[in-house]
Structure 1
Amino acid sequence: MSTFPTSSVQEARAALAARLRELRLDAGITGKELACLCGWSVAKSSRIENAVTVASDADIRAWCTACRADDQAADLIAANRQADSMYLQWKRLQRTGMKQLAETSAKLYERTRLVRVYASHVMPGYLQTPGYATALLGTIAGFRGTPDDVSEAVEVRMRRARVIHEGDHRFATLIEENVLNHRVGDQDVMAGQLGNLLAAMPLPSMSLGIIPAAAEREGTMWPLEQFTVFDDTRIHVELLAAKVTVTAPGELDIYLRAFARLAELAVYGPGARALIVKAIEALR
Structure 2
Amino acid sequence: MHVAEIGEGPAVLFVHGFPELWYTWRHQMLFMASKGYRAIAPDLRGFGDTDAPPSTASYSVFHIVGDLVCLLDSLGLDKVYLVGHDWGAIISWYMCLFRPDRIKALVSMSVVYTPRNPLVKPMDLFRKTFGDDFYICRFQEIGWEEEFAKVDTKRQLAASFLNRNPNAPKLPKDYAKSFNPPPYTLPSWLTEEDLEYFASKYRATGFRGPFNYYRCFDLNWELSGAWTESKILVPVKFIVGDLDLTYSFPGIKEYIDGGGFKKMVPGLEVVVMEGVAHFINQEKPQEINHHILDFINKF
TM-score category by the smaller chain? Answer: 0.3 to 0.5
With structure 1 as the length reference, what TM-score do the two structures score? 0.35
Which TM-score applies when normalising by structure 2?
A: 0.34
Q: Radius of gyration: which is bigger? A: 1
Name whichever structure is richer in helix by fraction.
1
